Chains A and B, each alone.
Chain A
Amino acid sequence: MENPIAFAILVVSLVAVVYISWWGKKHTSTTTDFYVAGGKISPRLNGWAMFGDYCSAASFLGVAGAIALAGIDSWWVAIGFFGAWIFVLVALAGPLKSSGKFTVADVLVGRFGGRSLKFLAMFTTVVIGTLYLVPQIVGAGHLFQLLLGWDYMITVVVSAVIMGLMVILGGMMGTTYNQAVQGVILLAAMLLLFILAVLIYFGGNPFAIIAQAMTTVPPTQAAPIMAQVVVPPTPEGAYGPFVLAEAVRAGFANLPNALTPGVATPDVWNQLSLVLGLLLGVAGLPHILIRFYTVKDAKDAKKGAEITIIGLAVFYIAVLFVGFATMMILYPALVEMLQAGQRGRATNMAIPLLGMELGGEVVLGIIAAGAMAAMLSTSVGLLISMTTSLSHDVYAGVLRPNSTDRERLVFAKVGAVVLTVIALLASVWLKDQNVAILVAMCFGIAASTFAPVLILSVWWKGLTKEGVIAGLVVGLIVSLTFTFARFSAVPEIAGIRVLGNPALYGVPAALISIIVVSLLTKTTGNAREFLAAAHRN
């Protein structure tokens, strides 16, 4: 086995996760406990749990890895991940908590009633959740591959099995504590990397990272021209951390540096589509929204969100520095992987490799535990939100209202297995994609479906049931069409250019559908009572 110490640390952290789930299960006696921990979670705990839930493989591995390869442009994914929370806090957190119960569908059904809405909301939840699971499995697969040297196929199967088991083991109480602990581990792991990199390679001065980045050509720019780079011989016979980067700069003074903007962003429309999708995405992500139902009231929901926002600000600023440090410290390895056509591996594994470089197997183990924590907490959150929707909205709400609790739980858990298998198959197809980009696509779909519908539900009296259905259907069709076109390398659809993220088409299409159909119809539901409840605080 490769890296036995790191693997042992990872196993210890996994055992701790399983123990917390088992402990949480002991404190779960009703379905309300299973779905939303009985609404008894404190805002501080919920804030950390939301941080752990939100910081997925994309945040921990993908963004820093992408910055390490391409420079500052890749930071925009992190800025968007952060910005989304401001939008959620101001526009949605309070009213959502005051008007909802367990799932996104509850909010819509609370105002409009009807089985069709429940079913449509469940379907959208499952589509977003399953697609969001893919990058978690891809990231976990690459991580196990690095730690154990196993084949990618075996590693993704093992990762998916662990994720599925976690959901079958515990409910929301255990998940909350797990996510909170994992959130602390994630932040600590990122700060540990930052501190070690600054102390070991940059003389204790964090701004030296920025200064060095100003002279470093990003590996994505350097890889194609490496044959023309003249590297001075070193006494050890190998490249020092900065030798190759300095040789590239010396030979190609006109190439951009790691802080040059506009190098990795394709164009302004792609950028706007990405940042729009990221900004609105969280307002449509069921596994995040469900966390607002685990606290007592709207005030606590907002307090929790503030803790998450502060944590994210610290985390994503550290990600920028760690990304740049990774670029410079691992420059030869990153360039080599890019030349070998292993861009996906280079992006997703740059951070664990940095851990290995800075502190050997022990730090690699801590980083691996952090990365696994990111993937597990997000995956379990996703599976819980999907199974809650399957069980509560569809099975108990539509298919078999008289079913027993046991039957509902069995239905939910079988659904979790099926969804994990689907995500597993997609993970094989998309194994070389950057996990941050995959997550950003899911944000685009969420931004085009749930986000406009939910925001208008809690703010607009004139919204109608038909408008909601039209918005969900149109947003889902448009965003999914452009998402699959993007991954199938289709350049345009009906003369419309396919962008990196579907939000620039999906969001306006959904909004226009909602508004136009709402103006033409009259089923506003119990708008006055619903809005009074949503804004009671």
Chain B
Amino acid sequence: MSNPSTKDPGAPGLEYDEAKIKRKLGAAIGLLLIFCVTYFVAATIATREFKAVGGIEILGMPLALYTGMLVFVVGLVVTRMCLNQDKDN
């Protein structure tokens, strides 16, 4: 076996572009915000203290079930948005 070859993270030819990184950071924060709000709200209403909210019945099923499912839906949408952003870039 040979020694592993490694990429140099600071390879020449790559220029530091602060505006680009800030733009990507803003996009990432935006996507994570959408997901995290859904995620933490759904998690909170499923707790003992907020079970009156989580237990509200809609079409015969508790809100906590819908919000749990919503996390998956929002997650899939955010995933696609993230990959689409990469395409645009």
Interface, chain B (partner A; CB < 8 A): 1-11, 14-18, 20-21, 24-25, 28, 31-32, 35-36, 39-40, 42-51, 54-55, 60-62, 64-65, 68-69, 71-72, 75-76, 78-80, 82-83, 86, 89
**A210 contacts across to B, CB distance below 8 A:** 61, 65
Residue of B nearest to A316 (CB): B72
- Assembly CA distance A535 to B9 (angstroms): 10
A268 at the interface (CB under 8 A from B): yes
**Contact: B32 with A267, CB < 8 Å?**
no
A448 CB to nearest chain B CB (Å): 18
B19 CB to nearest chain A CB (Å): 11
**B62 contacts across to A, CB distance below 8 A:** 72, 259-261
A102 at the interface (CB under 8 A from B): yes
**Which of A26-34, A344-352, A353-361 binds B?**
A26-34
Given contacts A86-B79, A90-B31, A261-B51, contact A31 B11 (CB under 8 A): no
Residue of A nearest to B74 (CB): A86
**B21 contacts across to A, CB distance below 8 A:** 459, 531, 535
CB under 8 Å from chain B, chain A span 482-537: 526, 528-537
**B15 contacts across to A, CB distance below 8 A:** 532
A82, A214, A536: the one contacting B75 at CB < 8 Å is A82
**Contact: A309 with B45, CB < 8 Å?**
no
Residue of B nearest to A267 (CB): B48
Given contacts A31-B4, A73-B46, A275-B43, contact A459 B25 (CB under 8 A): yes
B24, B39, B61: the one contacting A214 at CB < 8 Å is B61
B89 CB to nearest chain A CB (Å): 8
A31, A259, A532, A536: the one contacting B3 at CB < 8 Å is A31
A99, A214, A302, A306: the one contacting B9 at CB < 8 Å is A99
**A110 contacts across to B, CB distance below 8 A:** 8-10
A149 at the interface (CB under 8 A from B): no
A303 at the interface (CB under 8 A from B): yes
State the interface size on chain A (CB cutoff 8 A).
Answer: 73
B4, B32, B39, B83: the one contacting A32 at CB < 8 Å is B4
**Contact: B39 with A279, CB < 8 Å?**
yes
**Contact: A79 with B68, CB < 8 Å?**
yes
- Assembly CA distance A303 to B55 (angstroms): 37
- Assembly CA distance A534 to B60 (angstroms): 49
B71 CB to nearest chain A CB (Å): 5
Residue of B nearest to A95 (CB): B24
**Contact: B55 with A535, CB < 8 Å?**
no
CB under 8 Å from chain B, chain A span 57-86: 72-73, 75-76, 79-80, 82-83, 85-86
In the complex, 27 of the A-B residue pairs with CB atoms within 8 angstroms, ordered by the A residue number, are: A31-B2, A32-B4, A35-B4, A72-B46, A83-B39, A87-B32, A87-B35, A89-B79, A90-B31, A100-B9, A110-B10, A111-B9, A261-B45, A262-B55, A265-B48, A267-B48, A268-B49, A305-B79, A306-B80, A309-B75, A313-B76, A405-B2, A406-B1, A461-B18, A530-B9, A533-B10, A533-B14
A12 at the interface (CB under 8 A from B): no
**Contact: B1 with A313, CB < 8 Å?**
no
Residue of A nearest to B71 (CB): A79
**Contact: A533 with B83, CB < 8 Å?**
no
**Contact: A537 with B39, CB < 8 Å?**
no
A174 CB to nearest chain B CB (Å): 15
B1, B4, B5, B76: the one contacting A309 at CB < 8 Å is B76
- Assembly CA distance A459 to B32 (angstroms): 14
B81 CB to nearest chain A CB (Å): 9
- Assembly CA distance A185 to B31 (angstroms): 32
Residue of A nearest to B53 (CB): A261
**B43 contacts across to A, CB distance below 8 A:** 76, 79-80, 271-272, 275
B1, B36, B39, B42: the one contacting A30 at CB < 8 Å is B1
**Contact: A268 with B50, CB < 8 Å?**
yes
- Assembly CA distance A434 to B15 (angstroms): 49
**A275 contacts across to B, CB distance below 8 A:** 39-40, 43
Given contacts A405-B1, A535-B21, contact A261 B46 (CB under 8 A): yes
Output the residue of A34, A79, A214 with the most chain B CB within 10 A: A79
Residue of B nearest to A303 (CB): B83
Residue of A nearest to B80 (CB): A306
- Assembly CA distance A261 to B86 (angstroms): 38
- Assembly CA distance A462 to B20 (angstroms): 17
**Contact: A31 with B1, CB < 8 Å?**
yes
**Contact: A317 with B7, CB < 8 Å?**
no
Give A84-127 as 1s and 0s: 1 = Cβ < 8 Å from B's Cβ atoms.
Answer: 01110111001000111110001000110000000000000000
- Assembly CA distance A76 to B40 (angstroms): 11
Given contacts A30-B2, A31-B4, A405-B2, contact A260 B24 (CB under 8 A): no
A465 at the interface (CB under 8 A from B): no
